[in-house]
């Protein structure tokens, strides 16, 4: 399901585009397909949103650039952990939310690729909201985040804190449900120590959902098969 969504998104890539390359297991399928097309003659450049994606892009021989060098991003293809009816997202399950949001913000078009388990009525019911925080006095930042009525855990790998590509921690914030994602995205980012949060509001133009019956495309207010 992830693969069919990813491959459908790659159909939107045109010659000479600069492409934002998201992060995660769904994007991996897109990278593989893009690499195949590049080897067949497609001319594009990619901007990776994580060290993992950079490694994979190199493996698939996708030429890379930076936003500074390219000046613009025509299209970004990225995954998500949750998608609601307004195409608002929770991202950051893979820890790359800050770089993903930078690239999304500067992209002309954003296509999100997910399997159908990620489409939800309300954000935050099933998936905790990742918040990237600087290490300095992170416990105080955590305390400030608790005001939003969530259960917070420091993301760990085995027994050690998970470290982002930017050298920071991730706090995973579990809500019953996020009632006002638009406001919460703003409010969380006002807390000193917070680098970025995983709410992506109003950024996605199109969500391609892979399901057992094939793909479905969600666009703002319109649902097409």
- Among 35, 46, 48, 79, which residue interacts with ligand A5P (rule: CB under 6 A)? 79
- 125-184 residues in contact with ligand A5P (CB under 6 A) are none
Catalytic residue among 100, 132, 185, 196: 100
Does residue 137 carry a catalytic annotation?
no
Compute the distance between CA of residue 62 and CA of residue 75 in angstroms, rounded to an integer: 15
CB atoms within 10 A of CB 58: 13
What distance in Å separates the CA atoms of residue 59 and residue 149, rounded to the nearest whole number? 43
**Binding span for ligand A5P by CB under 6 A among 79-87, 136-144, 173-181, 187-195:** 79-87
Q: Which is nearer to ligand A5P, 116 or 140 (CB)?
A: 116
Q: Which of 20, 24, 124, 128 touches ligand A5P (CB under 6 A)? A: 24
Among 20, 48, 95, 128, binds ligand A5P (CB under 6 A): 95
9 binds ligand A5P (CB under 6 A): no
Q: How far apart are CA 2 and CA 33, in angstroms?
A: 13
What would you report as the CA-atom Rg of the chain, rounded to the nearest whole angstrom?
17
Q: Kindly state whether residue 48 participates in binding ligand A5P, applying the rule CB under 6 A.
A: no
Q: Considering only CA atoms, which of 58, 61, 94 is closest in space to residue 79?
A: 94
């Amino acid at each position: 399901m992830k693969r069919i969504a990813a491959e459908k998104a790659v159909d939107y890539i045109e010659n000479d585009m600069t492409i934002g390359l998201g992060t995660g297991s769904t994007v991996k399928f897109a990278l593989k397909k893009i690499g195949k097309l590049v080897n067949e003659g497609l001319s594009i450049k990619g901007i990776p949103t994580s060290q993992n994606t950079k490694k994979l892009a190199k493996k698939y021989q996708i030429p890379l650039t930076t936003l500074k060098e390219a000046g613009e991003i025509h299209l970004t293809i990225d995954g998500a952990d949750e998608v609601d009816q307004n195409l608002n997202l929770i991202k950051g399950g893979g820890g790359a939310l800050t770089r993903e949001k930078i690239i999304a913000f500067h992209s002309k078009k954003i296509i999100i690729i997910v399997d159908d388990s990620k489409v939800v009525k309300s954000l935050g019911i099933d998936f905790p909201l990742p918040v990237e925080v600087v290490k300095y006095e992170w416990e105080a930042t955590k305390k400030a985040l608790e005001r939003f009525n969530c259960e917070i855990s420091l993301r760990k790998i085995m027994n050690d804190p998970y470290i982002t590509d930017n050298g920071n921690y991730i706090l995973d914030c579990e809500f019953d449900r996020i009632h006002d994602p638009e406001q919460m995205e703003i409010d969380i980012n006002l807390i000193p120590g917070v680098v970025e949060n995983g709410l992506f509001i109003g950024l996605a133009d199109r969500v391609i959902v892979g399901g057992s019956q094939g793909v479905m495309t969600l666009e703002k207010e319109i649902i097409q098969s």
